[in-house]
């Protein structure tokens, strides 16, 4: 049965490998697809937020660039005329400050907002790091609970000053709820500001309000290029929902496919291997080769095994018949030798009363050789009569009912001699109960 076990093992191993690889493929596909969608969607949200705030910043900074030509902000005029900063000169800003080239504040608006001054750079090297395009730069800071976007631009010291004579103009703008609402309307999510800065784009997704939402955090930087706050947005991701639904359907298809495959495998094994194997086992138990013929299979290996086993059954039956015949022949020879050498005369006749057996005691009693007696008519060769003729009918009834009759008889041999004998005559029947002849055991009476 090695080929059957190998087929079973091969099918089971292949089924397990296919199922494991399919499941692993679906899991990996699910993981990397969702990860890619989340990253792509986060990139899009980040880009939208940056572009929105960049647009707002550039609109404000455009006014800031125009103000560099306004003499009101020249440091020399502020020092000589003791001018105060007026927010109407640069609309849209909540805080303003003018500093000299050494970044020492010359004027601040509002006057009592010393917190704004603490957000400004204090050294030329620090300012150099902040400058991006050489003209204007921006950074963020906190004043109380308000996030302030601070823009900085270099201004002339006075109208006819040399290039090395300059000052700095700082303008701060509070990030208001209206700006957040505008960006939220564009992205379709909820935008908020956190004082806990982050340095990664995607934050923990475990506390989202909806499983298909994606949270993205964008850090904003202060004057030392360190994150001081973050914009957090949680937005519904339609592609992620569609992908998860698609993958759910894919997993369902995989389960259905696995169930169909396992059903097919079960039916296949049952029809082509398990049932034939049961028939083979039953044929072995019952020693019936005909049951092997009932197990039909188109597999060449199975047909070879079937033919091989039928040959074994045939050889076993042939060997059994040979042993049986040999035993029967030996037994018949033994019985024949036994009958041939007993002291009583024994001969048998068939249903036509033809002599079929004649032992040596019969030769001695009747003076007739075996070769002469065989095939002769018994009642012609030996004429027999019951000693009491009145008992003839009784003896015949005994033979008919009991299969045996016994008594004294007068017999006349071919040479005319008369003998008084004790006879026991038994009816012989075959295995079907059919009459086949008589067994005569004769002993000379004293």
**Average confidence score pLDDT of the chain:** 77
* Alpha carbon separation from 178 to 175, 184, 185 (Å, rounded): 8, 10, 10
Whether the predicted pLDDT of 206 surpasses 50:
no
Position 125 scores a pLDDT of 79
Residue 374 lies in a domain: yes
Determine the Cα–Cα distance for residues 135 and 166; give it in Å rounded to an integer: 12
Report which of residues 132 and 23 the model is more confident about. 23
Per-residue pLDDT of 210-248, as tens digits, reads 555 677 888 888 887 788 888 888 776 666 667 777 777
Residue 363: pLDDT above 50?
Answer: yes
Asked whether the beta carbons of 65 and 135 are under 8 A apart, the reply is yes
Look at the chain and report how many structural domains it folds into: 2
Q: Centre a 10 Å sphere on the Cβ of residue 272 and count the other Cβ atoms it contains.
A: 17
Residue ranges making up the domain that contains 116: 70-175
Q: Which of 175, 194, 221 is the last residue of a domain?
A: 175
pLDDT band at 426 (very low <50, low <70, confident <90, very high): very high
Q: How confident is the model at residue 204 (pLDDT cuts 50, 70, 90)?
A: very low
In a domain, 431, yes or no: yes
Write the CATH number for 134: 3.30.450
pLDDT tens sequence across 252-300: 887 787 778 777 777 776 666 666 666 667 666 666 666 666 656 566 6
Domain end: 132, 154, 175, which one? 175
Q: Is 154 helix (H, G, I), strand (E, B) or coil?
A: strand
> What's 425's domain CATH number?
3.30.450.20
Among the listed residues 338, 425, 323, the one whose alpha carbon sits nearest the alpha carbon of residue 384: 425
Residue 44 within any structural domain of the chain: no
Q: For 325-355, how does the pLDDT look when each residue is reduced to its tens digit (9 = 90+)?
A: 655 555 556 566 666 778 889 999 998 999 9
Q: What is the pLDDT of residue 308?
A: 66
Q: Is residue 7 part of a domain?
A: no
User: What is the value of pTM for the model shown?
Assistant: 0.48
Round to whole Å and give the CA distance between 22 and 256.
12
């Amino acid at each position: 049965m090695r080929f059957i076990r190998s087929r079973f093992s091969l099918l089971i191993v292949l089924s397990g490998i296919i199922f494991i690889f399919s499941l692993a493929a679906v899991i990996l596909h699910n993981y990397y697809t969702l990860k890619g969608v989340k990253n792509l969607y986060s990139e899009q949200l980040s880009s939208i937020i940056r572009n929105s705030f960049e647009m707002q910043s550039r609109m404000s900074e455009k006014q800031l660039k125009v103000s560099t030509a306004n003499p009101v902000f020249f440091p020399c005029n502020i020092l000589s005329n003791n001018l105060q900063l007026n927010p109407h000169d640069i609309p849209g800003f909540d805080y303003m400050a003018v500093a000299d080239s050494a970044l020492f504040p010359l004027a601040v608006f509002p006057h009592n907002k010393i917190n704004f001054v603490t957000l400004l750079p204090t050294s030329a090297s620090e300012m150099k790091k902040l400058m991006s395009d050489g003209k204007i730069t921006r950074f963020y800071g906190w004043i109380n609970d308000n996030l302030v976007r601070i823009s900085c631009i270099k201004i002339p010291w006075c109208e006819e000053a040399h290039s090395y004579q300059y000052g700095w103009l700082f303008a701060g703008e509070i990030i208001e709820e209206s700006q957040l609402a505008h960006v939220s309307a564009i992205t379709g999510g909820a935008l908020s500001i956190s004082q806990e800065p982050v340095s990664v784009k995607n934050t923990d997704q475990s506390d989202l309000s909806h499983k298909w939402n994606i949270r993205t955090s964008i850090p904003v930087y202060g004057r030392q290029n360190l994150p001081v706050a973050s914009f957090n947005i949680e937005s519904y991701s339609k592609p992620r929902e569609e992908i998860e639904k698609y993958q759910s359907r894919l997993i369902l298809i995989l389960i259905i496919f696995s169930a169909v495959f396992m059903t097919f495998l079960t039916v296949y094994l049952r029809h082509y291997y398990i049932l034939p194997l049961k028939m083979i086992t039953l044929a072995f138990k019952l020693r019936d080769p005909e049951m092997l013929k009932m197990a039909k299979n188109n597999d060449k290996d199975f047909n070879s095994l079937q033919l091989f086993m039928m040959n074994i059954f045939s050889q076993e039956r042939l060997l059994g018949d040979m042993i049986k015949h040999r035993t029967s022949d030996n037994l018949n020879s033994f019985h024949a030798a036994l009958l041939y050498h007993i002291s009583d005369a024994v001969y048998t006749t068939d249903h036509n009363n033809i002599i079929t057996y004649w032992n040596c005691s019969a030769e001695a009693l009747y003076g007739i050789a075996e070769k002469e007696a065989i095939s002769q008519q018994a009642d012609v060769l030996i004429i027999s009569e019951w000693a009491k003729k009145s008992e003839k009918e009784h003896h015949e009834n005994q033979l008919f009912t009991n299969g045996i009759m016994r008594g004294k008889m007068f017999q006349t041999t071919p040479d005319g001699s008369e003998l008084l004998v004790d006879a026991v005559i038994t009816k012989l029947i075959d295995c079907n109960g059919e009459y086949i002849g008589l067994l005569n055991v004769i002993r000379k009476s004293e």
